[in-house]
């Protein structure tokens, strides 16, 4: 039976501009992207915070997929966290136009008691101090999976290191791994990070795929070759959600299930990029995922 998944992260409204167009105050935030991806294969408990300016019916598709939203706080009179960004022509770089923390400024994550026992935990991207507060409330986690971003390396390195120490599977992008370890070579950077705590590491390389280190073992995955990227916002969070969803469904963390998780995360992230916000993820059907997973297996098959 599938393990329950607890996801704690940012819950936001994003205003995003890419060469393909723009959206204003669209559903965003690491927890929503991750939950949407994980919900296909696991029972998800989501913890986050929004203001009463947030239209809760936007989350109906998550409820229909069984996501438990009792841990989503709604602050009366509060303003939802808003982020604005603009991507450059080639989508490899983006500028943050504004960040309005709103209700996140005083967020204190409270894990509902029914969700605190024995989950697979995904600490999606939020402040390390909040990630630590979450861990203190969990009893007997199956494993702690942590996603992070470069911001915390700059403003709370010691908090981040404490979180990493308590992490079983660290998901990190290439630049973050290089910054954290002062190692340019990704394998060496990963090996160093493993000595900080996590037995398992996923180093994401964006359009170039990901490398997974599990103990001594190495696994490499290319990204899905997309011909049209509309908006890459949330692709990393979606990857993390698909990844943890696969592990939860397997009910086991092993070389075999980590491979499946890497493939599933890759495929879900590719769908995320096909439209703005969670537009593609909210309409996605399990058959589409299965079909792309099979294609992914074929396009990376070197069984010679």
Q: Which chain residues interact with a copy of itself by CB under 8 A?
A: 89-90, 184-188, 205, 208-209, 211, 217-223, 225-229, 259-260, 262-263, 293, 296-297, 299-304
Q: How far is the CB of 90 from a copy of itself (least distance, A)?
A: 5
Within the chain, residue ranges assigned H as helices are: 30-38, 60-64, 128-135, 150-155, 157-165, 174-181, 186-195, 235-250, 255-272, 279-283, 286-299
Residue number with CB closer to a copy of itself (33 or 224): 224
104, 75 contact by CB (below 8 A): no
Residue number with CB closer to a copy of itself (87 or 152): 87
- What are the φ and ψ backbone dihedral angles of 164, each rounded to 5 degrees? -60, -40
Q: Which tokens hold the place of 34? A: 């991750």
Residue number with CB closer to a copy of itself (152 or 296): 296
**Could you give the 3-state DSSP secondary structure of residue 52?**
coil
Q: How far is the CB of 91 from a copy of itself (least distance, A)?
A: 8
Q: How far is the CB of 304 from a copy of itself (least distance, A)?
A: 5
Q: How far is the CB of 36 from a copy of itself (least distance, A)?
A: 21
Cα 170 versus chain centre, distance: 11
Residue number with CB closer to a copy of itself (147 or 174): 174
β-bridge mates for residue 217, sequence order: 214
- Cα separation, 273 vs 270, whole angstroms: 5
126, 9 contact by CB (below 8 A): yes
Q: How far is the CB of 227 from a copy of itself (least distance, A)?
A: 5
Residue number with CB closer to a copy of itself (151 or 226): 226
């Amino acid at each position: 039976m599938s393990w329950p998944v607890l996801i704690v992260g940012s819950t936001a409204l994003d205003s995003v501009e890419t060469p393909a167009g723009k959206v204003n105050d669209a559903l965003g935030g690491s927890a929503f992207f991750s939950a949407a991806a994980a919900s296909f294969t696991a029972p998800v408990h989501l913890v986050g915070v929004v203001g009463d300016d947030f239209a809760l019916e936007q989350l109906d598709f998550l409820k229909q997929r069984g996501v438990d939203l009792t841990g989503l706080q709604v602050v009366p009179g509060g303003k939802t966290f808003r982020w604005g960004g603009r991507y450059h022509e080639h989508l490899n770089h983006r500028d943050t136009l504004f960040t309005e923390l709103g209700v996140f400024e005083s967020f204190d994550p409270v894990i509902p008691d029914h969700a605190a026992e024995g989950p697979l935990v995904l600490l999606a991207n939020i402040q390390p101090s909040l990630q630590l507060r979450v861990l203190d409330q969990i009893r007997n986690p199956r494993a702690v999976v942590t996603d992070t971003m470069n911001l915390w390396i700059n403003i709370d390195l010691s908090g981040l290191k404490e979180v990493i120490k308590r992490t079983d599977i660290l998901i990190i992008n290439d630049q973050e791994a290089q910054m954290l370890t002062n190692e340019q070579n990704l394998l060496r950077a990963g090996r160093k990070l493993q000595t900080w705590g996590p037995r398992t590491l996923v180093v994401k390389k964006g359009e170039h795929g990901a490398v997974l280190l599990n103990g001594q073992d190495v696994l490499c995955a290319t990204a899905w070759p997309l011909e049209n990227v509309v908006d890459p916002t949330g692709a990393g969070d979606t990857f993390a959600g698909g990844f943890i969803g696969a592990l939860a469904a397997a009910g086991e963390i092993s070389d075999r299930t980590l491979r499946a998780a890497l493939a599933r995360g890759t495929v879900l992230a590719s769908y995320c990029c096909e439209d703005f916000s969670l537009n593609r993820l909210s309409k996605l059907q399990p058959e589409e995922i299965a079909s792309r997973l099979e294609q992914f297996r074929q396009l990376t098959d070197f069984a010679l």
